[in-house]
Structure 1
Amino acid sequence: MTSRLNTMGDTFRARDISLKAQKKLLSKMSNKSMAKNFIDDTHASILDNTYNLAKSYTGNKKDAEKLVKNIIKIVVKINILSRNDQFSPEDLKVANQLKNKFTTIVKTVISFFEVDYTFDRSFLIKNINDCRGLLKQLVGNHLTDKSLGRIDHVLDFFTDATFLEEMFKKSSPYRPALKSIIDDMNKAFDEGGI
């Protein structure tokens, strides 16, 4: 009887069950109130403004909601994995590379917006796709194919050449919405959140 209990104990891990429960709960509750547990006000404002920009650009409320919900799910799941010490030392090296690449992207977007005639679509798309590769490398062993598909959905939106060209045109009708995002990004940098 004791050996049977030990065998059962070897396959059952409360931490794994807890992690699955958190992920499952997250998939059912990817809304603003859930996000506030993991995302501060400045980042929430970035997401709100991203929703407004995506809705305005696509003309589709449902697509804009799906984009932002997917961003929230990705961020929160990574946060859950990190809080539960699920990343190996190799994963943490990738996470550091991802953080550096993401910081480069944010600084680049800010610069492209603030400095006329600096927009370089190819450079931005390359860096976002590099970020995609690092992100998938980081979470590939931890998340489902459905979650990896969410990453592609989000990053496909932000690497669409037509979208990018439209965002960075001086005469773009989306410029005020992008300015709100840029202002929040600058605030996040000031607060040490990026």
Structure 2
Amino acid sequence: MITQPDFLGGGGQDHSGSELQVKSPEAELCLRFYIPLHQEFALLATDIREVIELSPDRITPIPNTSGLLLGALNLRGRVIWVVDLGQFLGQGTTLNTNRSEIPVIAIEEQDTIVGLAVEEIGGMDWLDKKHLTVLKSVSDTMAPFLQGEWILENKKNQCLRLLDHKAILRSARLLGKN
């Protein structure tokens, strides 16, 4: 807590002995992003190790692996798998890798790191998990990896779905078993 009057401002008021209480927002910081067909998703910022944009040639294809896997990537000396998130969630459209850069969101739990290749990064936003609604019209392939959805007021029939990073990391689909 800050107790120095110089940092408190207030036009020379005497703040001796007072403490500034900083309230945290009710919402949680989330990264918003898109997969092909412009479906919007979010991940809690605390669930993300880092976000990188890299040239497709930095992802090394691995033969005889799942079609969900784009390949492997060296992230500061550590090899991580890179998955086409849209394909992983059951979307029929594959990620366009014929471009200069691909956004990859690295998620981590304990010693497991996976890169989620997405179409586009939308930005950071404060989102309140209290306003998550029950999932509507979600495929059986996608449902296990979602915590809920927010209905977007400014976009008709649009929603923003919150991913469960632990469910993704623990999925047998990453290993090509489903």
Whether TM exceeds 0.5 here: the answer is: no
Higher relative contact order (CA 8 A, sep 6+): 1
Q: Indicate the structure with greater helix content.
A: 1
TM-score band by shorter chain is: under 0.3
Alignment TM-score, normalising by the size of structure 1: 0.20
Alignment TM-score, normalising by the size of structure 2: 0.21
